[in-house]
Every structure is written in structure tokens, then in C-alpha cells.
Copies of this chain bind each other. A is one copy, B any other.
Amino acid sequence: MEKIIKLQRKIAPEVVDITIKRYNILRNILYNQPIGRRTLANNLNLGERVIRTEVNILKKQKLLEVKSMGMNITEEGKVIIKELNDFIHSLKGLTGLERELERKLHIKKVIVVPGDSDKEGITINDVGKRTSLYIKNILNDNNIIGVTGGSTMAAVANEMDYGNSKKDILVLPARGGLGINLKTQSNNIAATLAEKLGGKYKLLHMPDNIGKEALKTLQLIPEIRELLQKIKEIDILVYGIGRSDDMAERRNLAEDIIDNLNKNGAVAEAFGYYFDRNGNKIFESNTVGLSLENFKKIENVIGVACGKRKAEAIISICSLREGMTLITDEGAGKEIIKLLK
């Protein structure tokens, strides 16, 4: 495969652009179907007329259908899109990018999905899909999976397929709940994931920004104590990586705390901790669950983050431990390389 792509690149370099453009169009239609020309043109930042000529070609190839309601991908088109995944991956040279990131970030494994979530919203779905596949691959009987919240993690749960051959899976939220959006809360994600994997789950009902005293009281409740104990036994941790400024805002942190974060150069957030560029802990949310020491001992640690904006945060988090896996997108991946040059 790599050889053919090398050949194609040499003798007909335009091919790469054409193929990627069409792939993006197809994929975008698939995720939003039925969709009209103009909406699609907006999504992809292409002219309406451009879309039209491309769509005509793809229609002729029977990869999509045009109805009065909008455009739909045909069954054949779906198959082609699926088969194109690997091809696009190679075409964009993402395998090389992955190896380079592994070297520069000093971590075990990096998976890069084509696209940039900041530019095209659907990329986050691909990242979720890829992560869910990866989880399934490393899963074993009796594993305890820890998950965090966030929109990326929600995509992971969303994209997970039903069914799984492994037994007695337990999914836990790694830290106390946060945020307003129900869909992106770790409790919700844990439940969805457990359901799809045919396993069990437990919930951790714990508000953000709780006082220290109240925290201690809560920890005395038997169910919570038990859950906190289980969290220490997590085998596979899947967590979203966030920008510290985004998270501070979303969590409505107090002015003085935000000032403190800024003063100390915080760039990243993960499972309730804030870190500077070099992975030094700057601040910790007042909530319970997975501790930093705990994090460093978990066998399988999978960080998920996508979008160019997250590059710096990813660099920070990856310096926390060597054995981790990073699943990200092309936009973030390329930006990381740029920053580390």
C-alpha cells in the first residue's frame, strides 16, 4: 500500500488532494445526511458550485444519491468510505506522524485520526470511534475502566459499538462530576460505555467546587468509600485532555484561582488537575476520585484529545508518564510537531 501511494504521489501528486477532498465530502454527507448543497458547502468551507461539481461526479459513481430532501450516501458509498479510512491515513502520511509524535512526546503509542476537530466538527466522532476500537482491543475479562467527562469522551461512548466478548467489565467515573451538560458528564459516559460493553457501572455523585469540610463528610458515606476504593483498582483509564483556560471557564472557577493558574502558566487539565507546560501540577479541583499518584500506576492509560487548540495541553499531559497512549487528530498532531521544533 505505502509503495503504491508513493508512486501515485510521484507521478500524479494532484491525486492526493482530489481524493482527500472527495473523502471529506462523502464523510460529511454521511454524518449529516440528508444534507443540502449549501449547508455542506458551509461545513467544508468550499463554494456551493464546487460542491456541485464534486457531488455530480460522486453521484455518477453511485456513491451518493440526491433527493429532494438532500443528499444521502448509498450503501456502496458507505462501504467505500469505510475502506477509504486506511487509505486516507496512509495518503496523509499519518503513520509517519504517529511515529514522530511517539518519539517527540516520549510515550508508548500515538494514534492520529485524519482531520482537525477545530475546523470540522465531525472529526471528533472519528476520534471517538478510533478510541472505542482501541479500548475494545485491549480489553480483558474483569477489567475496570475509568472514564472522565467532556465532549471528546462523550464521543467515545457514543461511537462505541454494542457487544463485546469480554466478561465482567466495570466502568467507573474517574473523578467527581462536573459541568452542566448531562451528556458530557463522566457519570453518563460511564453508564453508556458500560451498557454498550455489556458490563456494569457505578456512579459518583459529587458536585464541583465543594468545600473541603463537606468533601470529607461525603467520603465517609459507605457507597462512596467503596467506589473510591474501586477507582484505585482501575485497569484502563480513558480520559479527555483539556485546555486549562477552557476548563477554568467551564467550571466557573473563582477569579483568584484563575489568576493563580495564569500566573503559574497552567495550560492543561485532566481528571481535575491543572498542569503547566512541563507537566507540573498547578492546582487540583476540590473533588474526589482518581489521584495523581494513582494515575501513574495504572497499566493502560489512554489520553484522548483533538483539535489544533489542544496541542499545548497534550504536550503537557504526555510528560506526566511514559507508558501512556495518545489518541488525537491530525490538526493537534501537526501542531504538536510544530511546537516541539
Contact = CB atoms under 8 A, between A and B. Distances in A.
Interface of A: 1, 3-4, 7-8, 10-15, 18-19, 22-23, 26, 57-58, 61, 63, 80, 83-84, 87
Contact of A8 (B10, B14, B19): B19
Classify the interface of chain A: helix, strand, loop or mixed.
helix
A11 B4 contact: no
Contacts of A61: 10-11, 13
Contacts of A7: 80, 83-84, 87
A83 B3 contact: yes
A184 to B, nearest CB: 34
Contacts of A63: 10-11
Contacts of A8: 8, 15, 19
Contacts of A80: 7, 10-11
A1 to B, nearest CB: 6
A287 to B, nearest CB: 48
Contacts of A57: 13
B22 A11 contact: yes
A18 B23 contact: no
A162 B310 CA distance: 60
A94 to B, nearest CB: 16
A239 B201 CA distance: 77
A223 B8 CA distance: 57
B3 A4 contact: no
Nearest to A9: B61
B22 A12 contact: yes
Nearest to A13: B61
